[in-house]
């Protein structure tokens, strides 16, 4: 019994001790919390911030994925819109590269006719559009076949319509775009036929793309042939002017020769009757007339020689800094007796300022000399498409260096007078006009149109 009471008392004291320790621990804990409350608040805040950052990262990833998806859809839709618009950025689709190399437009035309016959053959042999399943309508295969044929006809009309529209609207700067348009039509129309298992074949698509390219190159070739004929007619007119000038010079020289002959004969008749001072005067006149007759005969011979030398003429090097800017020169050739006449024609109406001449070189084979100079600076042409445009980004020093290497005797006038341009610039500065003179050379000019007639 005594042991039991002792045990109860021991347990009681232990319990009291534990309560005391717990109270003391709580008090100490409260003191520590109070003492380090700010630090604990920071830790809690840190935990909250970490949680928020994690949440923000997840939201950011979701937003980024949504943005990428939306941007992809936007780009796709924008591309489809561009295919339907009439304008297109050149940098996106680039300049058309020819796929064929026929010499004449007739060859293009014949190839186009052959291709269209091939397309008709694909349609007749059911190789243009196919249906991979035999349909039945109301348990009738015939009705199913009729439905399939109607569906095929609708799909073919839709595709051919898109192709015809692309062919009708194709130009040098949208050819690639039109190809994409045909491919897109092919893809869209075939997608609409997925339910009925009907699709236009890739063979027919390739034929249509070939027709698109061929049709464009055919029209382009006709245009180039027309331009070439126009240039030939211009050269023939220039040649005719040169011939008329040579004939006129020959005729004038013959008239001069005849006049001096008659005057000389008259003077010789008069000298037989003269004496003294009169005789001396007539002798002096006879010498003068003989010299004039020789000069007239020389002019006649030169005219006859020019007429016989069909390739003789002058190569000219001219500039127009008021219109084209500096270091741009036209290197051309003329058979006119006075090459300055040709230069005046070039600067009459097509450009705001006349051309300045830097060199005239006579040659018995002017076309060959002109060709030599053109080939030397071919990589510096302004117009890389039309070689008949004879304008080059080059300096006179480069031309002079090449001429010396080829033993071509050219005397250059280095300084361009550009009188009208410089006077206009001075007047504009004096009058304080809105258009600043230093910007004149920066004005964009369409060199093709400016020199269309030259």
Nearest 5°: CA angle at 212, between 194 and 197? 10
Q: What is the mean pLDDT of residues 53-79?
A: 65
Least confident span in 107-111, 147-151, 269-273, 384-388: 269-273
Between helix 202-271 and helix 105-124 the angle, nearest 10°, is 170
- The whole-number pLDDT of residue 224 equals 84
Q: What is the mean pLDDT of residues 266-292?
A: 72
189 vs 170, more confident: 189
- The whole-number pLDDT of residue 121 equals 94
Spatial contact of 420 and 322, defined as CB atoms under 8 Å apart: yes
Q: Going by DSSP bridges, is the β-strand pair 313-319/198-200 parallel, antiparallel, or unpaired?
A: unpaired
299 vs 365, more confident: 365
Q: Does residue 234 surpass a pLDDT of 90?
A: no
Identify the band that residue 355 occupies on the pLDDT scale cut at 50, 70 and 90: very high
Dist CA 307 CA 366 (whole Å): 14
Identify the band that residue 91 occupies on the pLDDT scale cut at 50, 70 and 90: very low
- The whole-number pLDDT of residue 123 equals 93
Tell me the per-residue pLDDT of 135-186, one tens digit each, with 9 for 90 and over.
Answer: 988 888 888 899 999 999 999 999 999 999 999 988 877 888 889 999 999 9
- The whole-number pLDDT of residue 59 equals 67
Dist CA 162 CA 80 (whole Å): 14
- The whole-number pLDDT of residue 172 equals 78
Could you tell me the pTM of the whole model? 0.55
Q: The tokens of 181 are what?
A: 């348009």
């Amino acid at each position: 019994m005594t042991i039991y009471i002792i045990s109860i008392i021991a347990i009681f004291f232990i319990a009291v001790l534990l309560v005391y320790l717990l109270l003391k621990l709580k008090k100490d804990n409260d003191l520590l919390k109070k003492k380090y409350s700010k630090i604990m608040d920071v830790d809690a805040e840190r935990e909250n911030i970490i949680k928020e950052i994690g949440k923000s990262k997840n939201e950011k990833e979701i937003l980024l994925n949504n943005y990428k998806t939306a941007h992809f859809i936007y780009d796709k839709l924008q591309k489809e819109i561009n295919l339907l618009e009439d304008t297109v950025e050149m940098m996106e689709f680039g300049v058309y590269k020819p796929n064929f190399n026929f010499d004449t437009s007739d060859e293009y035309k014949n190839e186009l006719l052959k291709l269209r016959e091939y397309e008709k053959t694909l349609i007749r042999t059911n190789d243009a559009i196919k249906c991979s399943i035999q349909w039945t309508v109301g348990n009738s295969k015939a009705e199913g076949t009729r439905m399939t044929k109607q569906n095929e006809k609708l799909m073919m009309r839709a595709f051919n319509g898109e192709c015809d529209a692309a062919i009708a609207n194709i130009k040098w700067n949208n050819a690639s775009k039109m190809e994409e348009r045909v491919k897109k039509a092919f893809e869209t129309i075939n997608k609409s036929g997925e339910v009925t298992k009907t699709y236009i074949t890739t063979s027919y698509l390739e034929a249509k793309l070939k027709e698109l390219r061929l049709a464009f190159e055919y029209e382009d070739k006709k245009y180039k042939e027309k331009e070439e004929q126009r240039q030939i007619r211009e050269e023939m007119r220039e040649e005719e002017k040169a011939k008329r000038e040579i004939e006129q010079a020959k005729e004038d020289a013959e008239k001069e020769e005849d006049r001096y002959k008659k005057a000389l004969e008259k003077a010789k008749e008069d000298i037989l009757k003269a004496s003294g001072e009169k005789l001396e005067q007539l002798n002096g006149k006879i010498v003068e007339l003989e010299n004039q007759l020789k000069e007239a005969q020389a002019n006649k011979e030169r005219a006859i020689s020019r007429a016989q030398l069909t390739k003789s003429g002058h190569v000219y090097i001219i500039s127009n800094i008021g219109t084209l800017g500096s270091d741009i020169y036209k290197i051309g050739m003329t058979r006119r007796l006075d090459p300055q006449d040709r230069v005046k024609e070039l600067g009459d109406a097509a450009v705001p300022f006349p051309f300045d001449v830097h060199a005239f070189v006579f040659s018995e084979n002017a076309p060959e000399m002109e060709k030599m100079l053109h080939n030397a600076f071919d990589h510096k042409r302004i117009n890389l498409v039309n070689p008949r445009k004879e304008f080059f980004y080059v300096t006179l020093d480069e031309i002079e260096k090449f001429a010396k290497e080829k033993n071509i005797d050219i005397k250059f006038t280095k300084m361009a007078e550009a009188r009208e341009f410089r006077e206009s610039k001075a007047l504009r500065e004096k009058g304080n006009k809105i258009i600043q003179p230093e910007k004149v050379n920066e004005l964009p000019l369409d060199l093709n149109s400016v020199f269309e007639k030259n």
